[in-house]
Amino acid sequence: MNKVKDGSCPAVYGSELAIRPLESKDLPEVMNIELQGYSHPWTERIFLDCFKPGYRLWGINENRVLVGYAVVSYVLDEAHLLNLCVHPGYRGQGVGRLLLRHLIGEAARENMNQILLEVRLSNNIASKLYRKEGFEEIGRRPRYYPAASGWEDARVMALLLQS
């Protein structure tokens, strides 16, 4: 388990945070966060389908309690961030940034050339985080996300890891 202490995220500096690979036994905690985090959450079946080669699932714990997670798909030399969610009680404290930095570091270590992701156009907080971490908008996906009033477009973002 990687102990995390990062002075660039002062709200969590000194906290007992640990990032580790998720296991299927973590699904109840993952689903608890997922259901609180999204209006249209993933199902348990979707998460179970990600516990296979080609995926990386990371959890961030505080004192052994899961407070966030990320799901990344690896295809050839490209990592695709599929889901990153932080428990509502831990948002705005740098937990998501630490998790994002971890998965970026792991993708670079595994020789991925870039990381792609989609984010709701309305999710300004996440878009701002991704930009601050070096992601750039490369396009849009019309009607990508289900929304209360129909569908919402996605902003497609990329981070080049190698040239």
Q: Which residues are catalytic?
A: 118, 130
CA distances, 12 to each of 66, 97, 100, 134, 157 (Å): 15, 10, 14, 21, 26
Kind and range of the H or E element at 70?
Answer: strand 65-75
**Strand 150-160 with 114-120, pairing:** antiparallel
Half-sphere exposure of 54 (CA within 13 A, CB side): 5
How far is residue 9's CA from residue 93's CA, in Å, rounded to a whole number?
7
φ/ψ of 53, rounded to 5, equals -55, 145
Q: How many other C-beta atoms are found inside a 10 Å radius of the C-beta of residue 116? A: 17
How far is residue 104's CA from residue 159's CA, in Å, rounded to a whole number?
9
